[in-house]
């Protein structure tokens, strides 16, 4: 099964709710790229640069597009950050509240490891075991950030 193109999907999602939907030609004009370039981006023939993706995320009111681009198209992001479709603000916030136990455990573990001012091999193993849980908290924070930015983008549009 072919994966959906993230740039075309972002434009189409915008069009689903936009007062004035954008066809490919109008989007290309507003993004200051050629129609041929946008067509290549939307058909996986080429990958846009980060500045174009940033502009797309603003135009399409989709801050998650930047995070998805980093996780799927940038070597650093592919190695360091997993992307999943953001949950609702409620779901992410609730998840973060529940993650409080993990944060409390991490705080105590970190204090225990750093108390003597040195880190030995056993302590490195202990800290590495915590990293996946901390990355989950980081993911929840990113989801909350994306949802807040998405709502702020919509409010700015409505206030103009």
User: What tens digit of pLDDT does each residue of 68-91 get?
Assistant: 888 887 777 766 666 666 677 778
Q: What integer pLDDT is reported at residue 68 of this predicted model?
A: 86
Cβ proximity of 6 and 72 under 8 Å? yes
Domain 6-80 sits in CATH at 1.10.260
Pairwise pLDDT comparison (144 vs 19), residue with the higher score: 19
What tens digit of pLDDT does each residue of 18-39 get?
Answer: 999 999 999 999 999 999 999 9
Residue 92: which of 157, 148, 32, 14 has the closest Cα?
148
**Average of pLDDT values for 12-16?**
95
Confidence of residue 1 (pLDDT cuts 50, 70, 90): very low
Between CA 104 and CA 112, with CA 108 as vertex, the angle to 5 degrees is 170
Total-model pTM: 0.66
What tens digit of pLDDT does each residue of 36-74 get?
Answer: 999 999 999 999 999 999 999 999 999 889 888 888 877
CB < 8 Å & 24+ apart, contacts of 37-40: 38/7
Confidence of residue 157 (pLDDT cuts 50, 70, 90): low
């Amino acid at each position: 099964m072919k994966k959906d193109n993230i740039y075309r999907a972002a434009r189409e999602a915008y069009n689903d709710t936009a007062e004035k939907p954008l066809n490919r030609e109008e989007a290309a004009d507003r993004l200051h790229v050629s129609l041929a370039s946008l067509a290549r981006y939307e058909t996986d023939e080429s990958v846009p640069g980060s500045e174009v993706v940033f502009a797309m995320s603003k135009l399409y009111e989709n801050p998650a597009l930047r995070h998805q681009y980093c996780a799927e198209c940038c070597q650093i992001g592919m190695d360091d950050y997993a992307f999943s479709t953001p949950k609702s603000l409620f779901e992410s916030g609730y998840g973060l509240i529940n993650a409080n136990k993990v944060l409390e455990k991490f705080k105590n573990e970190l204090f225990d490891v750093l108390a003597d001012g040195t880190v030995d091999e056993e302590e490195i193993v202990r800290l590495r075991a915590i990293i996946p849980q901390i990355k989950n908290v980081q993911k929840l924070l990113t989801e909350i950030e994306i949802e807040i930015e998405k709502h702020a983008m919509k409010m700015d549009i409505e206030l103009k």
